[in-house]
Amino acid sequence: MTAVGRPGLSAVAPWVAVGLAAMAAMLLGWTSLQRHVQAACDGLEWPYLTSCPRGDGPVPERVRALQARIAVNPGDSTAWLTLAQLTTQPGGVAPLDDDAVLAMATRVAGENPMLLRVLAARALEREAWPEAVTLLVRLVQDHGDGDAARALAALVPHPETQAALQAALKPGTTWLAPVLGSLASVKVPAVLAMPLVAQALPLKLVSPQTGQALMRDLKAHGDWQDAHALWLALVGGEAPLIFNGEFEQGFIANGFDWELRDTPPTLAGAWVQQPQLGAQGRVLQVEFTGRPVALPVVRQVLMLVDGDYTFTGRFMARQMRTEQGLVWTFTCVAGGRELARTPALADTQGQWRALDVALTVPPDCGGAVALQLQTQLGSEALAGLRGQMAFDGFRLVPR
């Protein structure tokens, strides 16, 4: 995946501050964990604990009460867990040693998610990145902790966490998907996670659903090269310049397949289907209903290096009532400059006809070119048209 690489420092630096700010906000929320403990106790959500402490009173009084309980029962995991959570309160657990309290709490309640949160928050405060990443990964992997997923997402742009994040990617792990899904919530661009994604793909840790969501975000931010590199990895490593140009497969959403308008059938000016037409196989068929047509009717974004190309295909039309017909156009996604368009396509009385056009992609097009179906006249789309047109055998080859 040559297009998926580590962003340069200039690209990462502005987002490091954003990620750290997001983490700080989460830490402020985590200092109130003790209130969540009390709510869980009141709701009888912790049947595995021997009892639940009361969360009121000054910290020193609560510490003394917990000490008394521990003196009677040194293995009281609830008391040790509550002491551990009090290390996040103003004044801490003085005169007790915080590290000793946390060490003992870990011995008696080491897998408790509340304790893992406390330990992760402390590791983040100390900027102990490997420890913080390990604890956050455990919270996401074993407990489905959404806050931990967001904290890890905020760490993605931080250069000092990269080694720890990459080390946590192992066969069978499941923490990466929720972290990728949390990037937008902490305002981290998806492109900054691509080094992790590149490492995760050979381990089969990126599901098609996760990949589709990630490609959608990458495309929305104009990161076409990274999105296409991910697409190629998900479809097996290579693809023709026009994907699914024979229209034999259903369309894959959010990638680099054919894109359709999401319009209710009762309102659509054009219905797009893929019927089987005998020996022709499946085709792209567009039925125009007379209602206004949203343009483009269909499109596919192609990733093309600058140079000369030839586009070929076939079309067939029945009962088309149109002034100047339909066209396929090639347009730079960035800026919308049109590069080429086919001759106008009109009624063929049910006969298949060839279509072709030559185009040149200039270096300043940015690599992303939209192939899209539209009316020759914009006014005709507003007025609506009727009839049926089908397409098949689309190919694009360098000249």
- Provide the pLDDT for residue 264: 84
DSSP class of residue 301 equals: E
At residue 123, the pLDDT reads 85
- 3-state SS track over 165-196: HHHCCCCCCCCHHHHHHCCHHHCCCHHHHHHH
Contact 48, 65 (CB under 8 A): no
- Of 169, 166, 173, 124, the C-alpha closest to 147 is 124
The candidate with the shortest Cα–Cα distance to 62, out of 101, 30, 24, is 101
* Half-sphere exposure in the Cβ direction for 22 (13 Å, CA): 24
Enumerate residues 6+ apart whose C-beta is below 8 A from 293: 269, 270, 375, 381, 384, 385
Report all structural domains of the chain as residue ranges with CATH numbers, in order of start: 9-232 (1.25.40), 259-398 (2.60.120.260)
pLDDT digits (tens), the chain, 399 positions: 434 444 443 444 454 544 454 454 454 344 444 444 444 444 434 333 333 444 455 667 677 776 777 666 666 566 666 666 666 665 556 555 567 666 665 666 557 777 788 788 888 888 899 999 999 999 999 999 999 999 999 999 999 999 999 999 999 999 999 999 999 999 999 999 999 999 999 999 999 999 999 999 999 999 999 999 999 999 988 899 999 999 999 999 999 999 999 888 778 999 999 999 988 899 999 999 999 999 999 999 999 999 999 999 999 999 998 889 999 999 999 999 999 999 999 999 999 999 999 999 999 999 999 999 999 998 999 999 999 999 999 999 998
Q: What is the pLDDT of residue 64?
A: 72
Q: Which pLDDT score, from 0 to 100, does residue 323 have? A: 85
Cβ–Cβ contacts within 10 Å for residue 56, how many?
8
- Reading the block at residue 304, the tokens are 């093309």
Task: Name, in order, each residue with C-beta under 8 angstroms of 357's C-beta and a sequence gap of 6 or more.
Answer: 310, 311, 328, 330, 340, 341, 342, 343
- What number of helices (H) and strands (E) belong to the chain? 14, 10
- Tell me how far CA of residue 1 lies from CA of 9, 81, 132, 195, in angstroms: 20, 46, 30, 10
The predicted model scores a pTM of 0.78
* Burial environment of residue 338 by CB neighbours within 10 A (0 to 12, 13 to 18, 19 or more): exposed
The pLDDT of residue 63 is 72
What is the distance between the alpha carbons of residues 358 and 289, in angstroms, rounded to a whole number?
31
pLDDT of residue 290: 93
pLDDT at 2: 38
